[in-house]
Amino acid sequence: MKKNNATFINVQISRDGYFADGMFIPKDEANRHYVELQKWIENGGVVEPEFGVEEIKSQKYQELEEFRKTQQFQPIQYQDSEFSASEMARQNIMNNILVTNSSAQKYWLDKNNNSYEFSLKNFKELTTLISKRDTKLYSIETEIKNAIKKLRSVKSLAAIIIPDLWRKSEENYQE
């Protein structure tokens, strides 16, 4: 339903306001989102029952895991080129480590399909870089998950913006 340019898709009522499309809207007549939401409700907008704190935590954990995965499978810099770190590339790298003897050479494509001659040493170095990055990402994810776990209100949970919290945690990350 649309009125005054306000369209809401998923709205749940809470004790202190509303959780609407990922944002918390307090019950406050001075808040323009609250006024727009009230008009939307008056025009037939449907408000679902309140999300509980645990439900919102679960949603935030899922959002956090998805964000970590987008970071985890980004290409990785190695020898002045970017190489895939996708799940398939990781499996292929590990396979090459297992089947390549120390003197054998294989060809490996970078992100731009340039061919490089790789030795067992190169595959191991690439795996080490991926592993270090994964350790960092899982550490940051755990830190944020622990911060979410401590929160006790819908309002505080709704205020969490995963990419912003991630960037802050990444800046403070100590190897």
Q: What is the pLDDT of residue 5?
A: 60
* Backbone phi, psi, residue 117, to 5°: -85, 120
Structure confidence by residue, pLDDT tens digits, 34-93 = 999 999 999 989 888 777 788 889 999 999 999 999 999 999 999 999 999 999 999 999
Specify if 73 maps to a domain: yes
Specify if 89 maps to a domain: yes
Structure tokens that stand for 157 in this block: 């949970």
Domain co-membership, 37 together with 57: no
Domain co-membership, 79 together with 120: yes
Residue 28: domain span: 2-42
What DSSP state is assigned to residue 73? T
Domain co-membership, 60 together with 122: yes
* Backbone phi, psi, residue 28, to 5°: -150, 115
Structure tokens that stand for 76 in this block: 């990785």
Closest-CA residue to 64 (of 74, 52, 56): 56
Q: What is the mean pLDDT of residues 23-44?
A: 93
Higher pLDDT pick, 141 / 22: 141
Least confident stretch, 7-16, 86-95, 124-133: 7-16
Contact predicate 34/26, CB 8 Å:
yes
Domain co-membership, 63 together with 134: yes
Q: How many domains does the chain have?
A: 2
33 vs 35: CA distance, rounded Å: 5
Domain co-membership, 38 together with 103: no
25 vs 158: CA distance, rounded Å: 9
Round the average pLDDT of the chain to a whole number and report it: 90
Domain co-membership, 13 together with 76: no
Domain co-membership, 104 together with 25: no
Closest-CA residue to 93 (of 132, 111, 70, 119): 119
Contact predicate 79/51, CB 8 Å:
no
Domain co-membership, 11 together with 92: no
82 vs 109: CA distance, rounded Å: 9
Residue 1 has pLDDT above 50, yes or no: no
167 vs 165: CA distance, rounded Å: 6
> What is residue 50's three-state secondary structure?
coil
Structure confidence by residue, pLDDT tens digits, 148-158 = 999 988 778 88
Q: What is the pLDDT of residue 2?
A: 39
